[in-house]
Amino acid sequence: MQVNYDKLWKLMIDKKINKTQLSEKAGITTNAMAKLGRNESVQVEILVKICNILNCDIEDIVEIEK
């Protein structure tokens, strides 16, 4: 199984927020943002922080591919 964050990038475009802004507002590291960019697994805590900033649910930003 692999994670895919395409939904996150689309949502960020819709909300007019870039990676740097999201990273700063959510308080997550650039390393975590890089992992998201490579579709690598990150801690659920990071996804929750992103959801709080974007006012969405986890299923709105991540997809699990089988």
At 7 the pLDDT is 97
At 37 the pLDDT is 96
> Tens-of-pLDDT digits for all 66 residues of the chain?
799 999 999 999 999 999 999 999 999 999 999 999 999 999 999 999 999 999 999 999 999 988
At 66 the pLDDT is 85
| CATH number for the domain harbouring residue 43 | 1.10.260.40
**Domain carrying residue 8:** 2-65
Domain count across the chain: 1
Phi and psi torsions of 3, nearest 5°: -90, 150
CB 53 within 8 A of CB 26: yes
Q: Supply the pTM of this predicted model.
A: 0.92
Q: Which of 5, 1, 2 is nearest to 46 (CA)?
A: 5
